[in-house]
Structure 1
Amino acid sequence: MNKSMQFSYLEHVDHELLPTIEILWEISRVFHADSDTYVSAFYQELNALREHPSLQQENEVERLQALCRLFYVHLGFSKAPEPLLSAKRVLVDRAIRLRTGEPLTLAFLLQEAASYHGLVLELIDFPDYPLLRLDYAQSSYFVDPSSGELLHGSQVQERFEDATEDEEQFSWEVLEAAEQKLILVRYLSELKHAFISDRRFADALTTVHMLLTVLPDDPYEIRDRGYILEELDCNHVAVDDYQYFVEQCPDDPSAQLLRLQLENWTQPQTILH
C-alpha cells in the first residue's frame, strides 16, 4: 500500500486543513482498535463539565484556572511518572485511558478541553516541552501542561533560560503559536522514540512512515528508518537508507560510523567449514 495514501490526513499539514486534534485521533487509531472508545469517553466527560459553576465565569483567566483544576484534579490527569518515554504516555487515547501522559500529549488534551468550553489556547513550541497560551484583556497567560500551573511572563522567561542553559537568547517571538507541521513533527518524533524505547519496532517503522509523509526524503528520518529496519533484521533494506543518509549528510558525526558499518556489511563473508 502506498504509505502517503495510507496517511492522507498528514499530507496537507502545511496548509492546516484539518484540526490538529483530529489528526491525533487518526494517529491513535492506527495503533489501537479500541481508540474511539476512549476518545468518546473524553468528550462525554467534557460535556458533563458544561454546567459546572466554576466554568460559567465571564473572566476567561478565572475560567481557565477552574478548567485546569477540573482537568488535573477532578478528571485526574497527571504527568507520566516514568523517566523513560513510553508510547502509552504519548498516544492521546492511551493518555485518556491511563490518565497520565507526556506534557505535549496533556497539552493537546487540555487545549481541546478548553476549546470545548469556549477558551482558545495556543500551543507554544517551547524548549523542554510546549506551553499553552491564553490571550485575554491585552495580556498573555501561560499554562504548564504537566501540572496546569498558570505562569506569568517572567516565569516563562526563567524557564526558557533554564531549559536552554542560557545558550539561546530569549525573545518574545518564541511565545508565538506553533505551526501545525512543526508541532506534529515534534509529536511524531516523540512517538517514534517512545516505540523504540518500548522495543515496538514495527510500530516505530509505521511512525517513521508518518514522519516521511510530512517530511518527504528527510535524511534523518531515513537514517532512523534504517536503524529500525536493522532492528527488524532487514539489513538488506537498511543498507539503502544508511547509504542515502551518508550521501546526504557526509559531515554528520553518525555518518562516519555508518560508513564503517556499510563497509562491514558489503564485505564478502568468510565461510568456515
Structure 2
Amino acid sequence: MPTQQLDYFASLVSEDEHFPLTEAAIAVAQHSYPDLIVQHVFDELDLLADKVKHRVTHEMAGIQKLQILKNFFYKELGFGPNRNDYYDPNNSYLHSVIETRRGIPISLALIFMELGQQIGLNIKGVSFPNHFMMRLSLPQGEVIMDPLTGTSLSKQELQEMLDPYLDAQGYRGEYQLPLSAFLRSSSSREILSRFLRNLKAIYTQQERWERLLGIQQRLVILLPDAIEEVRDRGLALAQLDYIRPAIEDMQRYIDSSTEASDIDEIKAQIAQLEQQHRLH
C-alpha cells in the first residue's frame, strides 16, 4: 500500500471545518486505480459545471436553478443507476461514474452536489436508511430528492421507504422515531464514511481482500474513534497473511472494547494467528 496515497487521504480528512468532500471521495479510488490523478477528475467536473453555469444567472430563483441542473444532469448527460450491475465497485468511484454516467445514490449525489455548489445551490447529503438522499432548503420549503432520478419525494413516499427499516430495527410503537430524525443533513465525514462502508460491503462480499484492506485503512484514518474499524482492518490483514499487523489490530480492539460481544471470537482468531506464526 503506497503510504503517499494514504498520507494524502489523511491530510484531506484531518479536520471537519475545511473538509473537501468531493476531493476525498475521488481520492478513495487511488487504491484501485494507483495512476488516477485527482485534479484531472476535477477538471472534468469543472467542464460540466461550466456548461450549466452558462444557463443560470445570479438573479434566478433557487427552484429555477435546481430545475436547470436536474434537466442537465439526468436528461442531457444521462446520469442514473447502473441497473445491470448495481454492486460493481466502479459505481462508487467518481471518475468512473463521470465516464459511464452510471452510479449508486451516494456517488451520483456527490457529483450533483458539487455541480450544484458551483451554481450557488447548497445541496446537502442525507444518510437516509438504505438509500442516500439529497436535501435543499428553498424559500418554498425543504426539497428531498432521490439521487438516482432527481425526483422530489413527498413525506408520504419517504415514510413508505422508511417503514421497512423501522420494522427491521424494531423501532415501532412507542419507540418509533419520526421521519424528520432521518432527514437531517449529514456532515462530510458521515457521508464519506457511508461511501467507504458501501465499498467495504462490496469487497467483503466479493472476498477481494487486497481491495478491502485499502478501504479499511481509509476508514481507520477517517474515523479514528471507531475501534471496530481497527478490528476489521485486522481481519482483512489476516486474510492476506499479514499476521503480525493483524494480531496488533485485533489486540488493540480487545484492549479498547472489553465489553464487546465478539471479544471471545477475536481472542480465538488471535490464538489461531499466533499458532500460524509459530508454524512459519
TM-score (norm 2): 0.81
| 99-108 or 207-216: bigger deviation | 207-216
Structure 2 equivalent of residue 50 of structure 1: 53
* Structure 1 residues 45 and 196, CA gap change in structure 2 (3 angstroms): same
Per-residue deviation, 1:140: 0.6
State, as a whole percentage, how many aligned pairs show the same letter: 22
The verdict on how the C-alpha distance between 1:38 and 1:198 changes in structure 2, with shifts beyond 3 A counting, is: farther
Letter of the structure 2 residue corresponding to residue 76 of structure 1? G
In structure 2, do the counterparts of structure 1 residues 70 and 180 end up closer, same or farther at CA, with 3 Å as the change threshold? same
**Contact 1:132–1:142 (CA under 8 A) maintained in structure 2:** yes
- The whole-number CA distance in structure 2 between the counterparts of 1:257 and 1:44 is 51
Offset from partner CA, 1:202-234 (integer Å, 9 cap, x none)? 333232222222222532111111111112121
Report if aligned partners of 2:5, 2:30 keep a CA contact under 8 Å in 1: no
Matched AA of 2:20: P
Deviation at 1:46, TM superposition (A): 2.7
Contact kept? 1:90, 1:194, Cα under 8 Å: no
Q: Tell me if structure 2 keeps the 8 A contact 1:89–1:95.
A: yes
Q: TM-score, normalised by structure 1?
A: 0.83
1:203–1:267 Cα change, 3 Å = closer
**Distance in structure 1 (CA, Å) of the matches to 2:275 and 2:31:** 39
Counterpart residue type for residue 238 of structure 1: A
CA 1:3 to 1:47, structure 2 compared with 1: closer, same or farther past 3 Å?
closer
SS at match of 1:202: helix
Q: Which of 239, 252, 263 is matched with 1:244 structurally? A: 252
Give the match for residue 218 of structure 1.
226
| 2:72 equivalent in structure 1 | 70
Change (3 A) 1:3 1:221: farther
Q: Which amino acid aligns with 2:48?
A: E
Q: Deviations over 1:23-56 (max 9, x none)?
A: 223333454324444442232123223334xx56
- Asked if 1 retains the 8 angstrom alpha-carbon contact of 2:52 and 2:69, the reply is no
Q: Using the alignment, how far apart are the partners of 1:63 and 1:122 within structure 2? A: 15
Q: Alpha carbons of 1:169 and 1:123: their partners in 2 closer, same or farther (altered >3 Å)?
A: same
- One-letter amino acid of the counterpart of residue 235, structure 2: Y
Query: Are 2:215 and 1:207 aligned?
Result: yes
Deviation at 1:139, TM superposition (A): 0.7
- CA spacing shift, 1:139–1:232, aligned 2, 3 Å: same
Name stretches of at least 5 consecutive residues in structure 2 with no aligned partner.
none
Q: Give the aligned residue type for 1:207.
A: I
Given that 1:185 and 1:211 are in contact with CA atoms closer than 8 Å, whether structure 2 keeps it comes out as yes
Structure 1 position 255 matched with structure 2 position 256: no
- Alpha-carbon distance in structure 1 between the residues aligned to 2:109 and 2:41: 17
Q: For 1:40, what is the secondary structure of its paired residue?
A: helix
Q: 1:139 to 1:223 in 2, by over 3 A?
A: same
Residues 67 and 114 in structure 1, CA contact (< 8 A), matched pair in contact too:
yes
Q: How many residues of Structure 1 are paired with residues of Structure 2 in the alignment?
A: 267
**Are the counterparts in 2 of residues 106 and 145 from structure 1 also a CA contact under 8 Å?**
yes
Which residue identity lines up with residue 100 of structure 1 in the other structure?
R
Residue 110 of structure 1 deviates from its aligned partner by 0.8
Q: 1:186 aligns with which of 184, 188, 194?
A: 194
2:120 counterpart residue number: 118
The whole-number CA distance in structure 2 between the counterparts of 1:19 and 1:260 is: 40
TM superposition shift of 1:159: 2.3
Report the CA distance between 1:88 and its aligned residue: 0.8
**64-73 vs 261-270, which moves further:** 261-270
Residue in 2 that maps onto 1:19: 20
What's the Cα RMSD here?
A: 3.0
**Relative to structure 1, is the Cα distance of residues 196 and 270 closer, same or farther in structure 2, using a 3 angstrom cutoff?**
closer
Distance 2:195 2:225 in 1: 19
Offset at residue 106 of structure 1 (A): 0.8
What pairs with 1:144-183 in structure 2 (closer than 5 Å)?
Answer: 144-165=146-167, 167=171, 168-183=176-191
Task: Give the CA deviation at 1:121.
Answer: 0.9
Contact kept in structure 2, 1:86 and 1:195, CA below 8 Å: no
Structure 2 CA distance for partners of 1:95 and 1:51, relative to 1, 3 Å: same
Partner SS state of residue 155, structure 1 = helix
